Amino acid sequence: MTTDKIVAKNLQVAYGPKVIIKTADFAVKQNDIFIIMGGSGSGKSSLLRVLTGLMPPAKGTFWVDGTDYPAADDETKLEIMKKVGILYQSGGLFSSMTLAENVALPLQKYTDYSPATIDELVNLKLALVGLNGYNDYYPAEISGGMKKRAGLARALALDPEIVYFDEPSAGLDPISSTRLDNLMKDINQSLGTTLVVVTHELDSIFAIGTNGIFLDAASKSLTAHGNPHDLLKNPPNETVYNFLTRGKEDEKTA
Amino acid sequence: MATPDFEIKSSVLTVRLGGNLTHVESPAALFQAAQNLETKKISVLTEGLKAWDSTLVSILFELQNISHARKIGFEAKGLPQGLARLLALAQAVPQHVDKVVVEKEPLLDRLGSWGINLFNIFLKGWHFTAENLAALGRFATGKTAARKVDFLFALEDCGPKALGIVSLISFMVGLILAFVGAIQLKTFGAQVYVASLVTIGMIRIMGAIMAGIIMAGRTGASFAATLGTMQVNEEIDALKTMGVPVSEFLVLPRLAALVIAMPILTMLADFMGMLGGAFVGVLLLDIPAVEYWRYSWQAWGLTNFFVGLFHGFVFGFIISLCGCYYGINSGRNADGVGVATTKAVVAGIVWMIIATGFITFCCERLGI
């Protein structure tokens, strides 16, 4: 039985008077790889900021595991965020800490594991993302793709139920990007983690996405909701079709 | 807290996984048994495992690593699909060999390297200074890549926006000077000379030094942080590849702004310091205001005033050059920007003190 992990109702995203998304209603089911797609400036990353609690919604609300997140008190919010991992666009690693220290940080803060257990967990998490043996490296000493994978190791440190990804493929070569996609799928299938991915990379969308929404920059609204493959077969409007086909139809008619 | 059961029989270490195995602490005894030379094989049997998490996976991963290192067999039967997938995923990429640690050089070599580094830093700093002084000349004639708007923004930042803090600190310094002076002068009944003490002290050197220290901490640090962040964001690389001279585009507006602002801020600091002294002298030491003003005016000399202004002018050069130099040469991460900012402030203050010593020595020799 699948249950809803995240439910958004009449969610409006705005920076002061500037509205980015007028209204959005969607549900992310448990074990989904949920893609937030759309063109540049459509509000994908802003929506992610709202969902991760970095900014409040202008209107409406969203529930995480049945809890109204914006209305929750600080303690409840913290408990919810412990179940959430986030991979930022550039990894978000602390430059003054080694990769092992970066991954160990949430474990030291939120668990009472012994140092030996934390070391073993750090070794495992780094190995899971293909960075076995890179414990003593600093972020400045590794490549962009490795930074993202190390960021993912940190995001997975507390065995989160939900992991958010902000443009995971941005700045990666096709091979690294494919590896990261495969890793995300493996994590989703092995741990049953729900993944919410902000991206506009079509290869990634079709390779990993099981559900998703499409944000339209022109109408500032959510114009499609569903599996990306189904959306390609039965596009609800021309914008979605053009996006999912890289505007190839336009080229043919031009 | 549940831990996996294990036993060694006929050189086989059998680990039994069952029940609820979440939040499992590192089992030192199990790892010791795996490391035992008599153990020739590790066998993991899963019977009725109800729940598991990463801690259990990390234990199995560690056992696998031990088996690889010792070149003994490892066998896992009946693992849940997810757990087996994770173990396979963790082992998919072979362990990276440890990073090469550079051996420590002998003391003499290190001393030599330190000396060469120091010389190179001085050389680089000298080139930077010379390049910007030359560019400043071109800036005056309007033949540079510097944008007027950048200059005006920098001037606003280190001029009007700094007035408040410079006024407050200078007022307090004047006040402190007057208090400290009064303690001694009172014993001779000469507290009226507090006015002379504060006036000479502030206008000849203290006004400039206080304004300089404030601006090094405020504006010098801001220059270093801004340019350091530009370095991190590859904006400086973009300028270089576009063929835009970095010194002219980024340093000159800031240098010119601070060189213009500093003498004005020095004058303000002089005035506010004298006001602080007057506050103590007139209100607390009961010196008549007219008397205080007369002694202040007598002590105020044009030479002292211009020496103070010259200090301010030189400090403007030093603070902006240090801020911009360390910003442009900052590391390419958050730490690097922090280090650059610290260095800019420290170097700015140190060079200001060195310059003060040099100017004071020259004034002494020239009888000014």
The residue extents of the domains of chain B are 5-92, 131-366
Amino acid identity of B66?
I
For residue B99, the distance in angstroms to the closest alpha carbon of chain A comes to 8
Does residue A168 carry a pLDDT above 80? Answer: yes
Helices (H) and strands (E) in chain A, counts: 10, 10
In this prediction, residue A250 carries a pLDDT of 53
In this prediction, residue A196 carries a pLDDT of 96
**Coil, helix or strand for A64?**
strand
Contact at CB, A120 and B25, closer than 8 angstroms: no
Q: Does domain B5-92 have CATH number 3.30.750.24?
A: yes
* CATH code matching the domain that covers A1-83+163-171+194-254, chosen among 3.40.50.1110, 3.40.640.10, 3.30.499.10, 3.40.50.300: 3.40.50.300
Lowest mean per-residue pLDDT among B99-113, B142-156, B290-304: B99-113
Torsion of CA B127, B129, B133, B134, to 10 degrees: 10
Tens-digit pLDDT profile for residues A191-214? 889 999 999 889 999 999 999 999
Beta carbons of A103 and A128 less than 8 angstroms apart: no
Burial grade of B118 (CB within 10 A; 0-12, 13-18, 19 or more): exposed
Tens-digit pLDDT profile for residues B197-244? 999 999 999 999 999 999 999 999 999 999 999 998 889 988 888 888
Does residue A254 carry a pLDDT above 60? Answer: no
- Both structure tokens of B121: 């830093």
- Both structure tokens of B134: 């030359």
In this prediction, residue B100 carries a pLDDT of 66
- Provide the pairing of β-strand B5-9 with A194-198: unpaired
Going across the sheet that includes A67-68, the strands are: A18-29, A4-15, A59-64, A67-68
Instruction: Give the C-alpha separation, B265 to B166, whole Å.
Output: 7
Average pLDDT, chain A: 90
Which of A31, A88, A117 best tests the B interface by mutation, with the highest count of B CBs <10 A?
A117
In this prediction, residue A252 carries a pLDDT of 47
Does residue B365 carry a pLDDT above 80? Answer: yes
Tens-digit pLDDT profile for residues B38-65? 889 999 999 888 888 889 999 999 999 9
In this prediction, residue B62 carries a pLDDT of 93
Tens-digit pLDDT profile for residues B109-166? 999 999 999 999 999 999 999 999 888 888 888 788 888 899 999 999 999 999 999 9
Using a CB-CB cut-off of 8 Å, the residues of chain B touching A136 are 98-99
In this prediction, residue A183 carries a pLDDT of 86
Burial grade of A253 (CB within 10 A; 0-12, 13-18, 19 or more): exposed
Does residue A81 carry a pLDDT above 50? Answer: yes
Nearest chain A residue to B62 by CA distance is A120
Percent of chain B with pLDDT over 70: 98
Which among A136, A159, A190 has the least Cβ separation from residue B85? A190
Tell me the pTM. Answer: 0.75
- Both structure tokens of B239: 């300028």
Residues 98-137 on A with a CB inside 8 Å of B are 111, 113-114, 116-117, 119-121, 123-125, 127-128, 130-134, 136-137
Instruction: Give the C-alpha separation, B267 to B51, whole Å.
Output: 75
- How confident is residue A161, by pLDDT bands cut at 50, 70 and 90? very high
Beta carbons of B56 and A190 less than 8 angstroms apart: no
Contact at CB, B25 and A117, closer than 8 angstroms: yes
**Residues A49-62, mean pLDDT to the nearest whole number:** 93
Beta carbons of B163 and B169 less than 8 angstroms apart: no
Which of B30, B31, B58 best tests the A interface by mutation, with the highest count of A CBs <10 A?
B58
Instruction: Give the C-alpha separation, B355 to B82, whole Å.
Output: 69
- Provide the pairing of β-strand A162-166 with A84-87: parallel
Does residue B308 carry a pLDDT above 80? Answer: yes
Does residue A3 carry a pLDDT above 50? Answer: yes
Using a CB-CB cut-off of 8 Å, the residues of chain B touching A140 are 331-333
Burial grade of A185 (CB within 10 A; 0-12, 13-18, 19 or more): middle
Does residue A1 carry a pLDDT above 70? Answer: no
Using a CB-CB cut-off of 8 Å, the residues of chain A touching B68 are none
- Both structure tokens of B208: 């400039």
Lowest mean per-residue pLDDT among A1-5, A12-16, A223-227, B109-113: A1-5
CA-wise closest residue to A177 among A186, A187, A167, A190: A167
Percent of chain B with pLDDT over 90: 66
Instruction: Give me the long-range contacts of A22-25 (CB less than 8 A, separation at least 24).
Output: A22/A219, A22/A220, A22/A221, A23/A59, A23/A60, A23/A221, A23/A222, A24/A60, A24/A213, A24/A215, A24/A221, A24/A222, A25/A222
- Both structure tokens of A62: 């969203």
Average pLDDT, chain B: 91
The answer, for A217 touching chain B at a CB cutoff of 8 Å, is: no
Question: What is the count of residue pairs from A and B with beta carbons less than 8 Å apart?
Answer: 89
**Residues B341-358, mean pLDDT to the nearest whole number:** 96
Beta carbons of A128 and B60 less than 8 angstroms apart: no
- How confident is residue A249, by pLDDT bands cut at 50, 70 and 90? low
Percent of chain A with pLDDT over 90: 64
Contact at CB, B25 and A114, closer than 8 angstroms: yes
Q: Which residues pair with A79 in a beta bridge?
A: none
Does residue B101 carry a pLDDT above 80? Answer: no
Lowest mean per-residue pLDDT among A25-39, A102-116, B98-112, B236-250: B98-112
User: Is the four-CA dihedral A172, A176, A181, A185 of positive or negative sign?
Assistant: negative
Contact at CB, B90 and A120, closer than 8 angstroms: no
Nearest chain B residue to A187 by CA distance is B86
Instruction: Give me the long-range contacts of B229-232 (CB less than 8 A, separation at least 24).
Output: B229/B337, B230/B327, B231/B327, B231/B328, B231/B329, B231/B330, B231/B331, B231/B332, B231/B336, B231/B337, B232/B330, B232/B332, B232/B333, B232/B334, B232/B336, B232/B337
CA-wise closest residue to B274 among B287, B291, B292: B292
Helices (H) and strands (E) in chain B, counts: 15, 4
Query: Which residues of chain B have a Cβ shorter than 8 Å from any chain A Cβ?
Result: 23-26, 28, 53-55, 57-59, 61-62, 65, 81-83, 85-86, 89-99, 331-336
CA distances (Å), origin B336, targets B238, B322, B329, B348: 19, 15, 9, 18
Instruction: Give the C-alpha separation, B46 to B35, whole Å.
Output: 22
Instruction: Give the C-alpha separation, A124 to A137, whole Å.
Output: 16
Contact at CB, B90 and A124, closer than 8 angstroms: yes
Contact at CB, B96 and A133, closer than 8 angstroms: yes
Residue listed under structure tokens 């030599």: B112
Residue B45 phi, psi (nearest 5) = -115, 130
CA distances (Å), origin A10, targets A52, A66, A248: 17, 16, 33
Instruction: Give the C-alpha separation, B231 to B333, whole Å.
Output: 9
ipTM greater than 0.85: no
Instruction: Give the C-alpha separation, B214 to B222, whole Å.
Output: 12
Residue B20 phi, psi (nearest 5) = -100, 105
Going across the sheet that includes A162-166, the strands are: A84-87, A162-166, A194-198, A33-38, A211-216, A221-225
The answer, for A189 touching chain B at a CB cutoff of 8 Å, is: yes
